[in-house]
Amino acid sequence: MQNNQYFSRSLMEKLKKWIDRREIYAIKGPRQSGKTTLLKMLNEYLIRKKGVSPDNIIFLTFEDRDILEKFSADSKEFIRSYIGKKKKERLYFLLDEFHYLEEGGQKLKLLYDLFENVKFIITGSSSLELAGKTAKYLVGRVFSFYLPQLSFAEYLGLKSQQMNNIYCERTKFLKDFIISGKDFLLEKDIFASDFKKYFEEYSIFGGYPEVVKTEDFETKITILKNIYETYVTKDIIELLKINKVSKFRTIVKLLATRISSLINFNSLCNDSNTYFQELKSFLSVLEETYIIYLLKPFYTNKATELKKNPKLYFIDTGLRNFAIDNFKEIGLRTDGGNLIENTAFIQLRINYSEIPIKYWRTLAKAEVDFILEREKDIVPIEVKYANMSEPKITRGFRNFLLKYKPENALVLTRGFCGQLKVDSSLIKFIPIWYI
């Protein structure tokens, strides 16, 4: 494993791109996904690459109650105290954990309009705040970015540079296939066993940076416990003023047993002793604070689509596995298939963030795990993490292909490579770790 103080995050390249513009940067994402570290990396970049004086970069965290109280009392005077005589110099204010600030959007709008020489960069762990209450005051003034836990590519970058090099080369072909339909040929993978080991480890422990950086099993569990206890049962409850703590925790644990499945609202209400609107409120909180994701169905009739139940995925599988206290190897688990599908979803969401993802299911229960909705076409994706000796597809997948006639389709496998033509659709069978 690399011992760099900071390891590479793909979002850094986007942040560098517009760093000279005035617009505020709002970096949102799960607690402990690396936002604070990213700010420190940005600080270092500004000093070393852009030649900014360290005195012109002010790093503040609103977890510090003293700073939060002073900023809340008079934000203009607080910022002015740092500027002093540097009214014509470019300054950068890096404001961490911005979601703790009440009426943050209004205050930041005023500061942006008042101090033209200042670049504000904020982070937060709740999209309810940064994408909702804060953003509505900052229309035309803010660029928003999402920092997830480590992607599998970033994970490999920490574990093995050799594997990361191979991964980056091969995923480029796959991205061209998904985004533009460009054909490619993937030969048998001599590194399949290595990738399988890393991918399954990633599926079990997830992508929280501090978890990935340690090799010790007990330390990984301790870090996940800390994240779970402080984030799920403390931060969210305090930030969003949830007063039914026991019920909220129960719902999180119940959801953790039902990943990669359709949400059954009646069953969840009964098992948690919760009424429907209360459950919907809890689900919204969990989604807006990056614990779960509710995947909507694919239908050509959009009015119908809104009435169908979503599928449930956790944003981090390590956190999910802590909730059910199960860190067994994939081959020893009864939920191994669901866990692998959840990991595939995480990678699709990170690597194809600009493409809407849906799922497909009929009344007869024929289904396709994921549908990527490109502008002019769709790409159906099926997860089939089992031993394969030849390219085969399920009846439900075939039915979808014959009905919607997509140009390209994917089956994500446990190392098998191949292709198949069904009517006008070209199906590529590729190892799931390349998604």
Residue ranges per domain, the chain?
A: 11-147, 153-434
Which segment of 92-101, 136-145, 374-383 scores lowest on mean pLDDT?
136-145
Residue 187: what pLDDT? 74
Angle, helices 161-180/152-159, rounded to nearest 10 degrees: 160
Parallel/antiparallel/unpaired status of strands 118-124 and 24-28: parallel
Residue 410: what pLDDT? 97
Terminal-to-terminal C-alpha distance of the chain: 23
Residue 1: what pLDDT? 43
Residue position matching structure tokens 């239908």: 299
Q: What residues pair up with 412 in beta bridges, in sequence order?
A: 383, 430
Instruction: Output phi, psi for 78, to 5 deg.
Output: -65, -50
Return the CATH class of domain 11-147: alpha beta
- Whole-angstrom distance, CA of residue 33 vs CA of residue 202: 15
Which segment of 125-134, 209-218, 298-307, 358-367 scores lowest on mean pLDDT?
125-134
Residue 412: what pLDDT? 97
Element (H, E) at 179: helix 161-180
Instruction: Output phi, psi for 222, to 5 deg.
Output: -65, -40
> What is the signed CA dihedral for 303, 308, 309, 314, rounded to 10 degrees?
-50
Residue 130: what pLDDT? 46
Q: How crowded is the C-beta side of 113, counted as CA atoms within 13 Å?
A: 10
From 397, 336, 332, select the one nearest 370 (Cα to Cα).
397
CA distances 173 to 8, 116, 170, 372, Å, are 22, 44, 6, 17
Instruction: Output phi, psi for 198, to 5 deg.
Output: -65, -40
| Residue 107 exposed, middle or buried by CB count within 10 Å (0-12, 13-18, 19+) | buried
- Contact predicate 309/363, CB 8 Å: no
Q: Where are the alpha helices (DSSP H) in 206-353?
A: 209-213, 217-227, 236-239, 245-256, 265-272, 276-288, 302-305, 317-324, 336-351
Residue 3: what pLDDT? 42
Mean pLDDT, residues 418-432 = 94
Residue position matching structure tokens 């049962």: 233
From 370, 367, 384, select the one nearest 429 (Cα to Cα).
384
- Whole-angstrom distance, CA of residue 87 vs CA of residue 114: 11
Q: What is the DSSP letter of 334?
A: S
Q: What is the DSSP letter of 232?
A: I
Mean of the per-residue pLDDT values of the chain: 90
**Percentage of the chain surpassing pLDDT 90?**
69
Residue 305: what pLDDT? 64
Residue 51: what pLDDT? 95
